[in-house]
Amino acid sequence: MANGQAEDRPLTRIQQKNRQTILDAALEVFSQNGFRGSTLDQIAEVAGLSKPNLLYYFPSKDAIHAQLMATLLDTWLHPLRALDADGDPVAEIMAYLRRKLELSRDFPRESRLFANEILQGAPRMKAALEGELRTLVDEKAAVLRAWAAAGKIADLPPHHLIFSIWALTQHYADFEVQVRAVLGEDHDPYAEAQGFLDTLFRKLLAP
């Protein structure tokens, strides 16, 4: 058996390491150039492997991208899942905001990979958006609506409230070049964003 893929034998140490190396390189390249704009040669060079060796571990360029996508949405939604209907409303939302901003700061490549996919019409993720994502958002939107009805937070359209958290946090990762170009050298974008967004949402959520 040549390819580690076929039949689900447990992965050897080398396989595990190299698959991870490849996925990491692919994340780097795909997040910067998009799927169609990236080449196997680029990924191979970043990974420090030969192109045929890449295709020894993954059957195709698509398969590498698909593997990244499979992990991505889950990582990306995890903070929202943690929003607890039984917690303190404002505190829960502020905690979600903070986790999302940390995700942008610590995993900007993942953010940009996601942005690339959506920008291009989500050809490989549309189903997940209309299924998994929509279900989760609807569920949390109901929680927000209940909090608003109980007078715990301001009465706002819950979906758009969630969008605003996404937009404001992801902006700092996806448009990082622009943010840095505008702010110049003597700024810490994420630290400042944290303070600003904290203020913004506290004002917004006050009933």
Q: Which of 143, 33, 21, 8 is nearest to 89 (CA)?
A: 143
Site string for a second copy, 146-185 (x = CB under 8 A): --------x-xx-xxx-xx-xxx-xxx-xx-xxx-xxxx-
Cβ neighbours for 93, distance < 8 A, ≥ 6 positions apart? 83, 144, 153, 165, 201, 205
* Binding status of residue 120 toward a second copy by CB under 8 A: yes
Between CA 201 and CA 207 the distance in angstroms is: 12
**14 vs 167, beta carbon nearer a second copy:** 167
Between CA 31 and CA 76 the distance in angstroms is: 15
Other Cβ atoms closer than 10 A to 88: 12
Residues binding a second copy: number (CB under 8 A): 54
Site string for DNA, 46-65 (x = CB under 7 A): ---xxxxx-xx--xxxx---
Within residues 4-23, the interface with DNA by CB under 7 A covers: 4, 9, 12, 14-15, 18
**Do residues 87 and 152 lie in contact, with contact meaning Cβ atoms separated by under 8 Å?**
no
Q: Which of 120, 81, 102 is nearest to 173 (CA)?
A: 102
**Binding region for a second copy (CB under 8 A):** 32-38, 112, 115-116, 118-122, 126, 129-130, 133-134, 137-138, 154, 156-157, 159-161, 163-164, 166-168, 170-172, 174-175, 177-179, 181-184, 192-193, 195-196, 199-200, 203-204, 206
In the complex, which residues of this chain contact DNA (CB under 7 A)? 1-2, 4, 9, 12, 14-15, 18, 38-42, 49-53, 55-56, 59-62
